[in-house]
Amino acid sequence: QKEVEQDPGPLSVPEGAIVSLNCTYSNSAFQYFMWYRQYSRKGPELLMYTYSSGNKEDGRFTAQVDKSSKYISLFIRDSQPSDSATYLCAMSDMSTNAGKSTFGDGTTLTVKP
Amino acid sequence: GAVVSQHPSRVICKSGTSVKIECRSLDFQATTMFWYRQFPKQSLMLMATSNEGSKATYEQGVEKDKFLINHASLTLSTLTVTSAHPEDSSFYICSASKGTEAFFGQGTRLTVV
C-alpha cells in the first residue's frame, strides 16, 4: 500500500465549477502538506502548503488538512480553463527538508469552457 | 516564491554518451537539492538528495555510478547520466529547499536514441 493515495482521475468539470481534490495518507509523522500544479511537460509549481491541521486560503484555492482522518483536500473555486493541469499532493515529516516529500500520483483536471 | 532554473529543458543523445543536467537556485541559497525522475502519467520518484559540499544520498535502487550528482555550490547541483541507454529516457526534475518549501525546476526531457 502506498503511503500517499490520490485518485488519478481524470476529472472534468465545466468552467466556474468548484473542484475538490483529495489525498489520503498513512504516515502519522507527516506534518507538512503541499499541493503542486504541473502542466504538461513542465516542472511542478508549488500552489499551497500547510503545516499540521487546519485550513489555508489563497485566492481561489483553499487547502484543508485533517490529520485525525489523515486526509487533505484542495478546493478550487470558480475554476478556469487555465486550471487544467495535473495536481500533485505531497507530504513530509519535520525531520526532512520539504523537498524530500512523498508525492501522490497526481489528479488530472480538465476545466471545459 | 523562489526561482529554480534547470537546463537544458530538452536533450537528445546517443546511446553510450553522457548527459549533464544543471539545477540552479537563482535567488536563494540551497544547501539541499533533490533530483526526481518522472515517467509518463506517474508521480515523481525521488532519485537522490544532493548536499552542498558532501556526497549525495541515493534512494534504494538508484545506481550512483550511473547518475552522478555534484553539488558544487549553494546554488548549483548537477546530475550526469553516464553511458546513457534508451531506458534512461525520462523527465528529470530537480528541486531546491527554501525553509519548509520546495521549489522545482522546469524539468529536462531526456531522450536516448
Contacts for B47 with CB less than 8 Å, ≥ 6 apart: B35, B36, B37, B58, B59, B62, B67, B79
Cell numbers placing A46? 508549488
Quick: pLDDT tens for B76-102.
999 999 999 999 999 999 998 877 677
> How many A×B Cβ pairs under 8 Å?
60
Write the Ramachandran bin of A15: left for phi over 0, alpha for psi from -120 to 50, otherwise beta.
beta
What is the reported pLDDT for B75?
A: 92
What is the reported pLDDT for B72?
A: 82
When CB atoms are compared, the residue of A8, A88, A99 closest to B95 is: A99
Cell numbers placing B9? 529543458
Residue type, A43: G
- Return averaged pLDDT per consecutive 10 residues of chain B, 113 residues in all: 90 97 92 88 86 88 94 91 96 85 89 96
Nearest residue in A to B97, CA atom: A99
Residue B46 sits at φ, ψ, to 5 deg, of -65, 130
Range in A67-81, A86-100, B51-65 with the lowest mean pLDDT: A86-100
What is the reported pLDDT for B31?
A: 78
Report the pLDDT averaged over residues A37-65.
Answer: 90
What is the reported pLDDT for A94?
A: 61
Q: Do B102 and A98 touch (CB under 8 A)?
A: yes
Q: Do A97 and B32 touch (CB under 8 A)?
A: yes
Asked whether the predicted pLDDT for residue A27 surpasses 70, the reply is yes
Asked whether the predicted pLDDT for residue A96 surpasses 70, the reply is no
- Count of residues for chain A? 113
A61 touches chain B (CB under 8 A): no
Residue B41 to chain A, least CA–CA distance (Å) = 8
Residue A16 to chain B, least CA–CA distance (Å) = 26
The most confident of A8-12, A40-44, B101-105, by mean pLDDT: A8-12
What is the reported pLDDT for A70?
A: 95
d(CA B111, CA B88): 8
Asked whether the predicted pLDDT for residue A40 surpasses 90, the reply is no
- Count of residues for chain B? 113
Contacts for A94 with CB less than 8 Å, ≥ 6 apart: A29, A31, A32
What is the reported pLDDT for A95?
A: 57
Cell numbers placing B67? 547518475
Contacts for B15 with CB less than 8 Å, ≥ 6 apart: B84, B85, B86, B112, B113
B62 to A82, B15, B67, B68: CA distances (angstroms): 36, 19, 8, 10
Q: Do A101 and B106 touch (CB under 8 A)?
A: no
In chain B, which residues have their Cβ closer than 8 Å to the Cβ of A9?
none
